[in-house]
Structure 1
Amino acid sequence: MAAQFAEQGILTEPGSFAPDSLILPEQRGAVTGLPGFAEGLFQIQDQAARLACELLGPFTKQGSYLDGCAGLGGKTCILAALLPQEASLFAVDPDQRRFRLLKENLQRQGLAERVEVMQQQLEEFAETKEILFDAILIDAPCTGTGVIRKHPDIRWNRQPEDFSASQEKQLALLRTAAALVKPGGVLVYATCSLEPEENQEVVEQFLAANDAFTLTNCRDFLPASAASLVDAKGFFASLPTEEIEGFFAARLVRKLL
């Protein structure tokens, strides 16, 4: 893509953290006008979100994977591109608008046939699908304090009680997802929040109540370029800069029977 952009006079720089990322430092205007967008040759995604998908690895040919909070499908598309052709991928989101955009993004990038998508709550999906997964991503709804640079209204639209309310929902999602993970499988919990109530505390409370899971070090599953984004406890915890958003992720593994 760098060469294609250069032909159109568009300056690009490689991202510092995700090895396959490009930054367009001077670009302004609608992304839909960029060369290659309509053809699905790339997607707009923060480097932190891209790296979080790596935490579901190592990916296996016959593996089954779930994006349990698919949203607009950014991470779903990344996973669909990363997974071996023989692997299966499911994506769940309950919101009608987000679900429509999820399908549009998959279609634009030629990935629609790679993903089974369902417009429903994760709890409903868990009740109807008799399958256990090799890896599940829960990119949980949160207060979004790590992306205030993109959404400055967050600064004024959040209240202290929002953090505890989010925590309850996040724990509920983790509990639901945990029941769908195979022994030896991976559960990745992620948010675009900077708040410990939504991040470390959620993971600690979950592990205290679920001794079948153990925390693994995210650094072992990320490229060396992203090592500085992992904290002393092994959490992926980027702080907002000009190049990357504030993001949190924990990689949990279900113990073998």
Structure 2
Amino acid sequence: GKTCLIAERMNNNGQLTATDASESRLELLRENCNRMKVTCATLVQADKVTADGAKFDRVLVDVPCTNTGVMRRRLDLRWRLNPGEYGTLSRTQLDLLGQAATKTKPDGHLVYSTCSIEPEENGQLVARFVKANPEWQLTDERSLNPIENHTDGAYAARLIRRVGD
């Protein structure tokens, strides 16, 4: 969904690199891109991009999360969620945000997103990242709450990498 939407916003022009750690999810993405006639996207396994020295003007990191924002349509989550896993998950999220930051050019934009409504995975995590990385500035953040917004819950934060300020 997100890759195809970004390609649409780019009018299917330019260069869009989409990554995932999972080859099976990349294959689904490949099928979606073909179905939606997306031609500007290059799909790459995440570890190959990490090893590559390429940097990007804009980066979206959609991290694995507790999925609490989609709980109303995924009832199985109520029995799968384990509060003890939050610490491990937030470390993974912070690590992925840090990796994405290294792939962002100076004065580039980085968007961090989850489908969670948990502050530990969202604003609190972004605040920790910005505090530890002063070259990054939070420019905008949005939260969707299933009860208030009548939609799935989600969070997104836009950061900019300031260099030489």
Does TM, scored on the shorter chain, surpass 0.5? yes
- Residue among 143, 157, 162 paired with 1:250: 157
* 1:34-113 matched pairs, under 5 angstroms: 74-111=1-38, 113=39
1:165 is aligned to 88
CA distance in 2, matches of 1:150, 1:165: 25
- 8 Å Cα contact 2:117/2:154 also seen in 1: yes
Q: Deviations over 1:198-246 (max 9, x none)?
A: 11121011111111100112xxxxxxxxxxxxxxxxx201101484110
1:182 Cα offset (Å): 1.2
Runs of 4+ in 1 over 3 A off after TM superposition: none
Q: Deviations over 1:131-187 (max 9, x none)?
A: 221110011100100000111111110111121111000000011111111111110
1:180 is aligned to 103
CA distance in 2, matches of 1:143, 1:204: 19
Aligned residues: 163
In the alignment, is residue 120 of structure 1 matched against residue 46 of structure 2?
yes
Unmatched tracts of structure 2, length 5 or more: none
CA distance in 1, matches of 2:108, 2:57: 5
- 8 Å Cα contact 2:13/2:40 also seen in 1: no
CA distance in 1, matches of 2:150, 2:77: 20
CA distance in 2, matches of 1:148, 1:190: 17
**Of Structure 1 and Structure 2, which has the larger fraction of its residues in helix?**
2
1:42 is aligned to none
CA distance in 2, matches of 1:109, 1:86: 14
Which is worse superposed, 95-104 or 77-86? Answer: 77-86
Unmatched tracts of structure 1, length 5 or more: 1-73, 218-234
1:120 Cα offset (Å): 3.3
2:145 is aligned to 239
Give the % identical residues: 39
CA distance in 2, matches of 1:75, 1:85: 13
**Of Structure 1 and Structure 2, which has the larger fraction of its residues in strand?**
2
- 8 Å Cα contact 1:143/1:162 also seen in 2: no
